[in-house]
Amino acid sequence: MATSIKEVARHAGVSVGTVSNVLNRPDRVAEATRNRVLDAIEHLGFVRNDSARSLRSGRTNALGLIVLDVANPFFTDVARGVEDVSSHTGSVVILCNSDDSVTKQETYLQVLQEQRVRGVLVTPAHESTLPIDALRSRGMAVVLLDRSGERPDLCSVAVDDVAGGQLATDHLIAAGHETFAFVSGPLTIRQCDDRRNGMRRALRAAGLRLGSSTRDVLVPAMNARSGAEAARRLLAGGRENLPRAVLCANDLLAMGFMREMLRAGVRIPEDLALVGYDDIEFAAASAIPITSIRQPTYQLGQTAAELLLDECENADTHAHQQVTFQPELVVRESSGG
Amino acid sequence: MATSIKEVARHAGVSVGTVSNVLNRPDRVAEATRNRVLDAIEHLGFVRNDSARSLRSGRTNALGLIVLDVANPFFTDVARGVEDVSSHTGSVVILCNSDDSVTKQETYLQVLQEQRVRGVLVTPAHESTLPIDALRSRGMAVVLLDRSGERPDLCSVAVDDVAGGQLATDHLIAAGHETFAFVSGPLTIRQCDDRRNGMRRALRAAGLRLGSSTRDVLVPAMNARSGAEAARRLLAGGRENLPRAVLCANDLLAMGFMREMLRAGVRIPEDLALVGYDDIEFAAASAIPITSIRQPTYQLGQTAAELLLDECENADTHAHQQVTFQPELVVRESSGG
DNA sequence: TACATGTAATGAAACGTTTCATGCACGTTG
DNA sequence: CAACGTGCATGAAACGTTTCATTACATGTA
């Protein structure tokens, strides 16, 4: 079907070895010969067969990326960072959504091994333990995404969610507020738990008694609908008992929360200051722009890809790193500017 | 390095052919032998080498997906649809962002050919002509994404943007409005142009004179910032000259537009009815929920992947299809409910 | 007993590369 | 003139599978 190196060789009147050299070490071939080969390639429309290439050489130029769900803007940006880095090195990204399912994750790991990818970037599914040593022994590098240094013999890249929670809360404390609430999905989600801990740490540091100054409002999901539910629950306790400052575990929650509060006549930020998390594009575009915590998601992907590629290229000199990025406070109207 | 079929064969005391049969046609191998081989595979931690597999068989199980940018929620959902379908058939998706650059697109097409992917799903970069016949002649199936049937000998999947513009406008006309504006990015973007044409068609059908009843507000980008700019430009013409109904070419524009209008004291929908496009998640979550046009993005990806796989599997019976999905109006507060 | 039938397993060729030891033709040096 | 580099090109082996013609053996039938 497709033309092979052999046909090119025949057409150019050289041996296959020479064609391979033209492709891989053009400087070792005399100019006249090289041109003859290049003409033949052009003329026949020859395209290298990467399967043969990597079968023989033992290395592919593909990377695996396993995320929970690309439809989540967080992972989308990460994916973009990964793809940009790897495209610069001529590598190719195989995209996998695990949907936080251990089964899917394992299936994909198997497939990626069969593909003999050079390495995988993986956000481990909830509660799963990656068979990292088994992967390693098959020559696959592994970098953890969005999980901080659980193992020192591994590269990982994450954002410090405790610091983020703290940052947001410090901002609210500085504005003089004294009663707080944390609106969040289940605390079994690591991000939620970390952000909550950051909040509590900030409150303690400010000398506030946790029991009386703050409360948690836990809802089942991390979307706008759940945010609205949280607002209704607080409103049910009576207008006079509302907290003065609220931190939501992500921006979707904050948007739903805000809408419900406004509808009930609560003024933001005058009556209640609000801070979200993630700084998605829409946080700035909403009717009352939302103060939020920005994470360097794109950079997260970039860095992870760079670490992985370094581990592949320079296996001997490579030093495993646990990179933790610091989040950033973006102040907007919802918290009083 | 990695253990091969040969070692498995030796360990199980059979020939390599038998191991291959256990892997590919287990029913042709006697149970006792099969178990012996499976044990050996388990014991040695053998993982098939897909490079060798596809070199020999001439077919891979990889698909190429070239989009303009996965960071765009539209393409993210499409990608999700593609990935779900292909994972069911054990295929793998190679993700490529062309950033609407012809050069990048060509680079990726080259790489995908080298990978000998079974086919590509591609949103062609602006103004580019795909070398479809060349791809075909190398055995690669092609399905166009988000471009409607330009060629009858090709599968394509798209959403009818003209119908969408019409749908949105009919809704505004039905509400009794008589002065309109279309807020949009450059009309060189096909989606913008199509949606505008749909709008004009609806206006004409309602017997309105285009020249006096509607105007275009064109801004450089399709984001919230540009939406705000469009609003300021209209406000500069005097409050009394504002249109009564506005269609924005996407929801981000609509969000920025709305914010600026609210800030200027224009009431939505009382003073001005607003309709967006795309129905992104945040359209519903915004302070005044935005009426929008929903597109079946996930389904778009699914269908495209299915068409591609059918073209690969059943090359002989496959009939090329140009699928056009119909968009849907989602009415919310911003247009008066 | 001889023969056909069917089931299992075998062994080697082939896929398209890369790699490496080898060969050849020159020119240079002692 | 012999010996030796140097620069290019060659040809065959190897990578790990799949595939297929062939063999081996057991069972059933005439």
pLDDT reported for residue A146? 87
**Of the candidates B8, B96, B95, B94, the residue with the CA atom closest to the CA atom of residue B49:** B8
Closest chain A residue by Cα to residue B67 = A80
d(CA A97, CA A123): 10
Instruction: Kindly give the residue spans of alpha helices, DSSP state H, lying in A115-250.
Output: 132-137, 161-174, 190-205, 210-213, 224-236
pLDDT reported for residue B68? 94
Asked if B311 and B119 count as a contact pair (C-beta separation under 8 A), the reply is yes
What phi and psi values does residue A130 have, to the nearest 5 degrees? -75, 140
d(CA B204, CA B221): 28
**Range A316-329 average pLDDT:** 94
In chain A, pLDDT over 70 holds for what percent of residues?
99
d(CA B260, CA B230): 9
Over residues B36-85, the pLDDT tens digits come to: 999 999 999 999 999 999 999 999 999 999 999 998 888 999 999 999 99
What is the pTM assigned to this prediction?
0.91
- Mean of per-residue pLDDT scores for chain A: 93
Asked if A267 and A333 count as a contact pair (C-beta separation under 8 A), the reply is no
- Mean of per-residue pLDDT scores for chain B: 93
Over residues B307-317, the pLDDT tens digits come to: 999 999 888 88
**Of the candidates A308, A283, A305, the residue with the CA atom closest to the CA atom of residue A295:** A283
Element (H, E) at B16: helix B16-24
Query: β-strands A292-294, A328-330: how paired?
Result: antiparallel
Q: What confidence tier does A280 reach under pLDDT thresholds 50, 70, 90?
A: confident
DSSP code at position B183: E
Asked if B159 and B146 count as a contact pair (C-beta separation under 8 A), the reply is yes
**Range A209-234 average pLDDT:** 95
pLDDT reported for residue B293? 98
Q: Of B1, B73, B94, which is closest to A139 when you measure between CB atoms?
A: B1
d(CA A126, CA B203): 53
Q: What confidence tier does B1 reach under pLDDT thresholds 50, 70, 90?
A: low
pLDDT reported for residue B148? 74
**Range A188-217 average pLDDT:** 95
**Range B183-209 average pLDDT:** 95
pLDDT reported for residue B79? 97
Chain B, 267 to 296: residues with Cβ < 8 Å from chain A are 281-282, 284-288
For an interface test with A, the pick among B3, B47, B120 (most A C-beta atoms closer than 10 Å) comes out as: B47
Residue whose structure tokens are 């807020």:
B183
Query: β-strands B62-67, B92-97: how paired?
Result: parallel
d(CA B8, CA B238): 81
Query: β-strands B245-248, B180-184: how paired?
Result: parallel
For an interface test with B, the pick among A69, A115, A140, A223 (most B C-beta atoms closer than 10 Å) comes out as: A115
| Beta strand extents in chain B (DSSP E only) | 62-67, 92-97, 119-122, 141-145, 155-159, 180-184, 214-218, 245-248, 273-275, 292-294, 322-325, 328-330
Over residues A79-136, the pLDDT tens digits come to: 999 999 999 999 999 999 999 899 999 999 999 999 999 999 999 987 778 888 888 8
